[in-house]
Structure 1
Amino acid sequence: MSDSQFSTRVFSGIKPSGGLTLGNYLGAIKRFVDWQERGTDCIFCVVDLHAITVWQEPSELPGMTREVAAGYLAAGIDPEKSILFNQSQVHEHAELAWIFNCVARVGWMNRMTQFKEKAGKNSEKESLGLYAYPSLMAADILLYHATHVPVGEDQKQHVELTRDIAAKFNHDYGTEFFPLTEPVIDGPATRVMNLRDGSKKMSKSGQSDMERINMTDDADTIAKKFKKARTDPEPLPETMEGLKERPEARNLVDIYASLSDRSSAEVLRDYAGAGWGQFKPALAELAVEKLAPVAEEMRRLMDDPAEIDRTLARGAERARAIAAPILAKTYETVGLIRG
């Protein structure tokens, strides 16, 4: 079958390796809700197998997994409309990843910039999982014949690798079994930056809590962090060109745009010439309006971990109903005997 014959299906996942931030919300979860509300077939995952590519304290990982699930739910993911589960409950992910380890080439993995950034000078001491995890990511996506993956710019390379693996598998085995998945990068805040340094991505692991908005922050904390966010002395320009060499300013404008469901250019039309004394309080007010209810709902959900676990288990059953036949056909194609 050609790519046009695959039904539109979205897959994406978030790694539970620390608390959720505004970057996870604007760059991922908010966009996931948009896809769901369009009526698209959506599968969303807490990718806990990816989390253990670096050390995770076993006593803490379940709580972090539940927090990501709570973030999905609090933001509007409906487990009846979409499938929501944690990756380790669907063993087909790991099995297909091994097949793809045998399809992917070492040279492809060596080009993955995220491994180089994460490993740095200590690459020889990092786990094989951290090196090979793009192959698992490809399995996550292709196990469901997903046609689209909403990602930030920093993950585009991994979706391109997924396409390479699908194309090589199809070529090697004389089939058109796997689709060539498309990365979807849209919206004004697909990569939310550090509130103290606009050249760095907002991260759960940053040194200062003031660098990020945590999705569990209360209203006062959200407002305080935006009001204290680093800026420059210049007022806001009239056009996007005027933000080209102003990363902190660009970041705050993009965040405002995403929270208000507008373009950054539209925000500048409203605030051209405004100083930060006007813009940052407006941004803080908007952020509190949009984020505080999500944080409150997350806290409510996390007070009942058993219900989160039941939701994830139900989602895993639905996910396996799709995944198992696709893995079985993959094994048959490769020539593996299954009882």
Structure 2
Amino acid sequence: MQRIFSGVQPTGALHLGNYLGAIRNFVRLQDDFEAIYCVVDLHAVTVWQEPAQLAPNTREVTAAYLAAGIDPRQSIIFNQSRVPAHAELAWLFNCVARIGWLNRMTQFKEKAGKHKEKASAGLYVYPALMAADILGYKATHVPVGEDQKQHLEFARNTAEKFNYDYDREVFPVPEPLILGAAARVMSLRDGTKKMSKSEGSDNARINLADDADTIANKIRRATTDPEALPGPAVLDADGNLPTETRWERPACYNLLGIYAALADESWHAVLTRFEGQGFADFKTHLTELAVEKLGPMGAEMARLRNDPTEIDRILADGADRANAIIEPVKQEAMEAMGFLN
């Protein structure tokens, strides 16, 4: 069976955008691939993390994986720092990859901003660690969104250069797994801004740990506009919502997009159903759907949060299974490079 690797950083409360953009796909993919899902805590500390929060945040991501439906018996779930070969392979790849490749990484430029001289060295070489995550398991496919395509290309280049430099096919070149356009989930208070855990008001986002009542209250308070809901005539010939149309009524299309994503329906189907209705009625439907889909997840996360021993057991078991895969690959790479083992 083909193998996938992916991960989520433990940098704070996960929200609806994280679920629709990544975690929901992880659940679906585990039936078709040998799946390895990591809580990438080594990546997280490339920027400052409050030490007292790193372990709880790691458990929170794990709880979200489990509550969403990832089966720890079927898939491997672990936190990155428990498997030393990730960091060890990253160093080997630092010695294979080229400075020019790193200098082209747009995500480093975005995160470092105008203060790149003050950014951590870890943030700069982040792509080498991501390459180690993927190549260390000889993953054949990697589910990627727009923000990770460049990092996957770095991993592909690293695999090709390593195999060429040492004249042996140690690492397969992983293929991107394009899952279609992810739902663009924006703030419930400002439809022009992406839903984010860093936004000041908790009412701006639906957290995966929210209970049913909290979800309902947040949707009721979500920003709308006074006009009736549009129909499918706003879509382009391919059934997509044009970007310029979205920005004409950002709050409106944000809520409609959330409904379409949670219902797993097309824009055309949703706009046809609700055309001409007011937001009061639509919010009732959206609330019922969101509570149905997300409420049980929040309840299960609450149960798991009260049982950290169970989460730690799953992470430890996953780390043992992950280590059994990656350690021989690391040894193979070191042998190819000529290390004395």
TM-score where L is the length of structure 1: 0.91
| Residues 151, 190 of structure 1: 8 Å contact kept | no
Residue aligning to 1:3: none
Greater Cα offset, 164-173 or 264-273? 264-273
- SS at the partner of 2:21? helix
Letter in 2 for 1:42: A
Which structure 1 segments of 5+ residues have no match? 1-6
Residues 1-339 of structure 1 correspond to what in structure 2 (within 5 A)? 7-36=1-30, 38-234=31-227, 235-238=229-232, 239-241=234-236, 243-245=242-244, 246-247=246-247, 248=250, 249-338=252-341
Over 3 Å counting, the alpha-carbon distance change for 1:176 and 1:236 in structure 2 is: farther
Name the CA distance, whole Å, in 1 between partners of 2:258 and 2:179. 13
Name the CA distance, whole Å, in 1 between partners of 2:147 and 2:262. 21
Greater Cα offset, 236-245 or 162-171? 236-245
- SS at the partner of 1:204? coil
- SS at the partner of 1:179? coil
What's the % identity of the aligned pairs?
61
> Could you list the per-position Cα deviations for residues 172-203 of structure 1 after superposition, in whole angstroms to 9, with x for gaps in the alignment?
22233222222223255354333333443322
> Could you list the per-position Cα deviations for residues 61-88 of structure 1 after superposition, in whole angstroms to 9, with x for gaps in the alignment?
1111001001101111111000000000
Name the CA distance, whole Å, in 2 between partners of 1:229 and 1:198. 10
- SS at the partner of 1:214? coil
Letter in 2 for 1:32: F
Measured after TM superposition, the shift of residue 243 of structure 1 is 4.8
Name the CA distance, whole Å, in 1 between partners of 2:340 and 2:184. 44
> Could you list the per-position Cα deviations for residues 230-277 of structure 1 after superposition, in whole angstroms to 9, with x for gaps in the alignment?
344552231533553214344333322221122333322322333433
Name the CA distance, whole Å, in 1 between partners of 2:191 and 2:44. 26
Name the CA distance, whole Å, in 1 between partners of 2:25 and 2:203. 25
Over 3 Å counting, the alpha-carbon distance change for 1:250 and 1:22 in structure 2 is: same
Measured after TM superposition, the shift of residue 163 of structure 1 is 1.4
**Matched pairs, number:** 331
Greater Cα offset, 117-126 or 267-276? 267-276
Measured after TM superposition, the shift of residue 332 of structure 1 is 1.0
Name the CA distance, whole Å, in 2 between partners of 1:112 and 1:193. 25
Name the CA distance, whole Å, in 2 between partners of 1:132 and 1:154. 16
| Residues 240, 268 of structure 1: 8 Å contact kept | no
Measured after TM superposition, the shift of residue 58 of structure 1 is 1.6
Name the CA distance, whole Å, in 2 between partners of 1:46 and 1:266. 36
| Residues 170, 176 of structure 1: 8 Å contact kept | yes
Over 3 Å counting, the alpha-carbon distance change for 1:10 and 1:74 in structure 2 is: same
Which structure 2 segments of 5+ residues have no match? none
- SS at the partner of 1:59? helix
| Residues 218, 295 of structure 1: 8 Å contact kept | yes
Over 3 Å counting, the alpha-carbon distance change for 1:207 and 1:118 in structure 2 is: farther
Residue aligning to 1:4: none
- SS at the partner of 2:51? coil
TM-score where L is the length of structure 2: 0.91
| Residues 10, 58 of structure 2: 8 Å contact kept | yes
